[in-house]
Amino acid sequence: MPEISIDGKTYQVAAGKNLLQVCQGLKLQLPYFCWHPALDSVGSCRQCAVLMFQNDEDTRGRITMACMTGVTDGQRFSIQANSAQKFRQLCIEATMTGHPHDCPVCEEAGECHLQDMTLISGHIERRFQGPKRTHKNQYLGPFINHEMNRCIACYRCVRYYRDYSGGTDLNVFASRNNVFFGRAQEGVLESEFSGNLVEVCPTGVFTDRTYSQHYSRKWDLQSAPAVCVHCSVGCNIFPAERDGILRRVTNRYHPDINGYFLCDRGRFGYDFVNHGKRTEHAWQRNNSKQTTEQLNAQQAQDSLSAYLENTEQLLAIGSSRSSLENNFCLQSLVGAENFYSDNSTELETQLQRLLSHYRDTQPSSDLKSLETSDTVLMIGADVTQSAPRIALSIRQMIKNAGIAKAATIGVAYWSAAEVQNIRQDLKSPLHIISSHSTRLDDVACSIDNSHPQQQLDLINKICSMLSDDNPGAVDSRPDQISITDKATAICQHLLQAEKPFIVTGIHTGQPVELFLASLKLSAILYRRNKHAGLICAVPWVNSLGLALLNDRQQHFDTVLQRLEQRTVKTLVILETDLYRYCPAKKMNQLLADVANIIVLDHLITPTAEQADLLLPSASFAEQHGSWVNYEGRAQNSVKCFSPAQQRRPAYRWLTANTPFHSIVNDLSGIAECLNELPSLYPSQSADFHSARKTVRESGRSALHSYIDIKDIQPNSDPESNYQHSQEGVASNLDDSQSPAYIWSPGWNSSESLNQFQDGESGAIQGAQPGLLLFSKGQTDSSLVTADQSSDSIKGPPAESKNLLRALPYQHIFADEELSSCVTSISQLCPRDTIKINAAQASYLDLVSGQLVTYSFADTAHSLGESIQAQSTAALPLSIDDSIATGVVLLPALLLQRAAMGDDCWLRLAVAGERADG
């Protein structure tokens, strides 16, 4: 460990780091702009200047950039030296010469890294009186505002957007102090991770447009450590509220999951909490009088008990987007035998298989280890669309070969520009097996877009090549030869790698066999190499948690059957919209025969419209809850603000106000892996609380004066150690639990994170990393999943040359229920189309743009007949040559609604004239 001295103090520091990283770890106050913990150093802003002394005799020293100076033993530096301070001050003065007089109307003000650094550097008076340079702004889509005048040319945005997230449409233009950061032409930013620009840009150039629409200064926001609910990754976030409106979501650093970045679905999907279609009050339908009556809370509670008195023909549906506690309370209320998941048979099977894989065969892996892996094989999942943050991690994995190469010639990983220069086109291998193009194709080393059957053959081939005991039999059929070649290439990389990863996913419409084969492959790989990892995206935020509770594996297809058989009298639906799993007409029919429909939800979904009793439930931001992410990590999400109106967490409706802690205790008893769940929720303490609001919150004695000029007492939260007020310990002074917000004196921006981290890039002090439910106990050799895979995917029910295998095409903004109702997000949903490749189209005599209908071939399915018979709405055809022959792509949601099971074989037919001529 090198020992260095800074301003006369000696420190033991980690080797291989640069001085700025070291200073951050030591919490020394050294300004910086261009350096970012995830983007590393380029030394362009000259703000992190320090004095470096040659030897012990040297008293003058020389200015050097901390971020470009690797630490070695015995070095002596000074941050405080006058000349260093002067340098930094002059430097920022020069930066500020062109800066506009904008702070009052700048969304960044109050959390602006530039403001902070200007103050830290001691530049407090403007001397330059010359004219300021100006720039025109661009429209960059519904998420991001652009105000180029405020740019300080630190280059963080392009380095993040292009080098880190792989975007291509943001760039730097012009020269010298005229540089412009934007797009070649105005337009929506293409990257799925564009929202991070808001936090990466240290100034107010890129700001959150949705936040600006209901803006509030950072110090007025009430926040809490929560978990994103828009996919199965479970990124950590800070939702932030004021006056009953959820104003925005920002990243909450978790070293093993999201790191410093979120995806756009997660960052901008929060607005559903403010949606006009939120449920507010309890309503009961009175069928005899043909009226709907609003109930008060007690009446609603009584009415619920009355409905549930008779448990005969009772059926309850849990939700993949609701917390463990909510699902558990419903399950306990109705009894496990009456509790069903909202997953189809196929999804339920796959989820249960994944659980047993984690439990028995191979531990799950986090995104940090994916980022540090060196070969990835991605099978049948376009993770950018389904669990976006995973894709960002894969993009970092790609760079590892370059970093390793740089290391061999002595260049440190943090020297970003040098490493990039050495790397050139060198990539760590990413192989993709899919049926159509994915958003990661641009960095892939091989892409195999083929029919699911061929994909399965290829995976099985790789499996047999990898398993020593079963060398694949040589097959000389021509199509087998090409498969052998492909498999050999992939195998080589997987075997050479120190840390190979399999990335796959579970989603509706995917052939189950393909998923099982991927698990088998991963198991075999893991048996050979204990560093091998598996990342498997699951459909929704708590899919795995629900599967864990639902050990009877009671799935939604049975629900449909029972509804069909009319053996359901009382149906309880928790936070899920049944109309997403079944065509509307059919669902209407089925629900018409149910006497009592009870719905708990936070949005008025089509299902909620059918309710006889509708109970308004709290959203993720208004309740405590645990969620199990794709890797089987249970994380607690702390309530951010108190629900308004009659809204309350579903667990409270369902248990008639049982204290949250005792629910968690009961829940922890139901399965061994959940035993430690209560540790996520520290026990209540009477005299210790931390504040959800900042010390500088404004307007406390005026905000609600229009209702009553007398002060209103802040709500209390008996369920946690956080207060809905400023009372309690400020977040920067408390390291005993996750901070409610990130702020510390002098550091108002999100960069103040460095004051909270445990060393440089360490976890936030006191933060809950979550509970890994399946981190141990895997019995190495039992390849449970291996036995259950098969050689062929289920074929079409009837041999017909015009039958195509339907597969879903997913879209980051279209598929997830909660985020897709948000205006800014729904604007970016693509138009629904049917996609096939050109050869297929000409074979079927179809042309691009033509309206086509589809009908399913399956009639064997129990519910088949009635549904398949009905003709489906026509959709325009679009041609995409990356799609494998024999495959047709439908929008994921549409397929989920229309298809029964995984027998997704369908026939296309012309609907009429060509759309839009």
Residues forming the site for another protein (CB under 8 A): 100-105, 109-110, 129-137, 147, 149-150, 173-176, 178, 180, 212, 215-217, 219-220, 243, 696-703, 705-706, 708-710
CB of 643 to another protein, least distance (A): 21
DSSP 401-427: HHHHHHHHTT--TTBHHHHHHHHTT--
Buried/exposed 14-38: b ≥16 CB within 10 Å, e otherwise: eeebbbbbbbbbeebebbbbbbbbe
Q: Is residue 45 part of the contact set for ligand FES (CB under 6 A)?
A: yes
What amino acid occupies position 559? V
The β-bridge relationship of strands 722-723 and 690-691 is parallel
Question: In angstroms, what CA-CA distances link 594 with 18, 622, 867?
Answer: 67, 31, 20
Q: What are phi and psi of 579, to 5 degrees?
A: -70, -5
Who contacts 397 (Cβ-Cβ below 8 Å, separation ≥6)? 370, 371, 372, 373, 374, 376, 428, 430, 501
The β-bridge relationship of strands 690-691 and 339-340 is unpaired
The C-alpha angle with vertex 659 and arms to 654 and 662, in degrees rounded to 5, equals 100
Q: Is 855 left (phi over 0), alpha (psi -120 to 50) or beta?
A: beta
CB of 44 to another protein, least distance (A): 19
Question: In angstroms, what CA-CA distances link 284 with 275, 289, 302, 577, 598?
Answer: 22, 11, 12, 19, 9
Q: Is residue 47 part of the contact set for ligand FES (CB under 6 A)?
A: yes
What span, in angstroms and rounded, lies between the C-alpha atoms of 665 and 650?
17
Which of another protein, ligand SF4, ligand FES, none does 705 bind, CB closer than 5 to 8 A by kind? Answer: another protein
Nearer to ligand SF4, 193 or 854 (CB): 193
* Torsion sign over Cα 656, 545, 226, 682: positive
- Distance from chain centroid for Cα 565: 39
Nearer to another protein, 407 or 703 (CB): 703
Which of ligand SF4, ligand FES, another protein, none does 162 bind, CB closer than 5 to 8 A by kind? Answer: none
Q: Considering only residues 265, 353, 359, 724, which one is a binding residue for ligand SF4 as defined by CB under 6 A?
A: 265
CB of 25 to ligand SF4, least distance (A): 24
Q: Is residue 67 part of the contact set for ligand FES (CB under 6 A)?
A: yes
Residue that has been written with the tokens 């050139």 in this structure: 424
Spell out the alpha helix ranges (H) of 271-387. Answer: 297-308, 324-334, 345-356, 367-371, 383-386
Which of ligand SF4, ligand FES, another protein, none does 706 bind, CB closer than 5 to 8 A by kind? Answer: another protein
Q: Is residue 505 part of the contact set for ligand SF4 (CB under 6 A)?
A: no
Nearer to ligand FES, 577 or 751 (CB): 751
Task: Determine the interface stretch with ligand SF4 among 226-234, 273-281, 285-293, 619-627 (rule: CB under 6 A).
Answer: 226-234
Residue that has been written with the tokens 């609701």 in this structure: 322
CB of 699 to another protein, least distance (A): 3
Task: Determine the interface stretch with ligand SF4 among 109-117, 128-136, 677-685, 761-769 (rule: CB under 6 A).
Answer: 109-117
Nearer to ligand SF4, 228 or 447 (CB): 228
What amino acid occupies position 443? V
What span, in angstroms and rounded, lies between the C-alpha atoms of 232 and 546?
12
Nearer to ligand FES, 46 or 146 (CB): 46
Q: Considering only residues 26, 38, 63, 109, which one is a binding residue for ligand SF4 as defined by CB under 6 A?
A: 109
Which of ligand SF4, another protein, ligand FES, none does 47 bind, CB closer than 5 to 8 A by kind? Answer: ligand FES
Question: In angstroms, what CA-CA distances link 785 with 377, 532, 674, 790?
Answer: 19, 16, 23, 11
CB of 712 to another protein, least distance (A): 12
What span, in angstroms and rounded, lies between the C-alpha atoms of 728 and 860?
63
Are 270 and 262 a contacting pair, CB within 8 Å? no
Q: Which of 818, 775, 770 is nearest to 638 (CA)?
A: 770
Q: Considering only residues 51, 68, 112, 538, which one is a binding residue for ligand SF4 as defined by CB under 6 A?
A: 112
What span, in angstroms and rounded, lies between the C-alpha atoms of 153 and 156?
8
Nearer to ligand SF4, 258 or 484 (CB): 258
CB of 201 to another protein, least distance (A): 16
Task: Determine the interface stretch with ligand SF4 among 195-203, 324-332, 432-440, 491-499 (rule: CB under 6 A).
Answer: 195-203
What amino acid occupies position 474? V
Q: Binders of ligand SF4 among 389-448, rule CB under 6 A?
A: 389
Are 335 and 315 a contacting pair, CB within 8 Å? no
Nearer to ligand SF4, 653 or 813 (CB): 813
What amino acid occupies position 610? Q
Nearer to ligand SF4, 68 or 233 (CB): 233
Q: Is residue 461 part of the contact set for ligand SF4 (CB under 6 A)?
A: no
Nearer to another protein, 648 or 724 (CB): 724
Nearer to another protein, 86 or 217 (CB): 217
Q: Which of 596, 602, 551 is nearest to 323 (CA)?
A: 602
Are 442 and 425 a contacting pair, CB within 8 Å? no
Q: Which of 679, 739, 686, 677 is nearest to 716 (CA)?
A: 686
Q: Is residue 387 part of the contact set for ligand SF4 (CB under 6 A)?
A: yes
Q: How many residues bind ligand FES (CB under 6 A)?
A: 13
CB of 584 to ligand FES, least distance (A): 56
Q: Considering only residues 4, 48, 68, 205, which one is a binding residue for ligand SF4 as defined by CB under 6 A?
A: 205
- Helix or strand run (H / E) with residue 495: helix 478-496
What span, in angstroms and rounded, lies between the C-alpha atoms of 328 and 315?
15
Q: Considering only residues 151, 416, 459, 521, which one is a binding residue for ligand SF4 as defined by CB under 6 A?
A: 151
Nearer to ligand SF4, 597 or 822 (CB): 822
Q: Is residue 34 part of the contact set for ligand FES (CB under 6 A)?
A: yes
Q: Is residue 228 part of the contact set for ligand SF4 (CB under 6 A)?
A: yes
Which of ligand SF4, another protein, ligand FES, none does 149 bind, CB closer than 5 to 8 A by kind? Answer: another protein
Are 532 and 462 a contacting pair, CB within 8 Å? no
Are 478 and 536 a contacting pair, CB within 8 Å? no
Residue that has been written with the tokens 């309740």 in this structure: 623
Q: Considering only residues 95, 115, 301, 554, which one is a binding residue for ligand SF4 as defined by CB under 6 A?
A: 115
Query: Does residue 479 sit in helix, strand or coil?
Result: helix
Q: Considering only residues 43, 533, 739, 770, which one is a binding residue for ligand FES as defined by CB under 6 A?
A: 43
Are 568 and 594 a contacting pair, CB within 8 Å? yes
Which of another protein, ligand SF4, ligand FES, none does 123 bind, CB closer than 5 to 8 A by kind? Answer: none
Nearer to ligand SF4, 348 or 815 (CB): 815
Q: What are phi and psi of 493, to 5 degrees?
A: -65, -40
Which of ligand FES, another protein, ligand SF4, none does 234 bind, CB closer than 5 to 8 A by kind? Answer: ligand SF4
Which of ligand SF4, ligand FES, another protein, none does 236 bind, CB closer than 5 to 8 A by kind? Answer: none
How many residues appear in the chain? 917
Q: Considering only residues 4, 6, 19, 48, which one is a binding residue for ligand FES as defined by CB under 6 A?
A: 48
Nearer to another protein, 702 or 873 (CB): 702
Which of another protein, ligand SF4, ligand FES, none does 114 bind, CB closer than 5 to 8 A by kind? Answer: ligand SF4
Q: Binders of ligand FES among 510-529, rule CB under 6 A?
A: none
Q: Is residue 156 part of the contact set for ligand SF4 (CB under 6 A)?
A: yes
Nearer to ligand SF4, 126 or 585 (CB): 126
Binding site for ligand SF4 (CB under 6 A): 99, 102-104, 106, 108-109, 112, 114-115, 150-157, 181, 201-205, 228, 230-231, 233-235, 258, 262-263, 265-266, 387-389
Binding site for ligand FES (CB under 6 A): 20, 32-35, 43-48, 65, 67
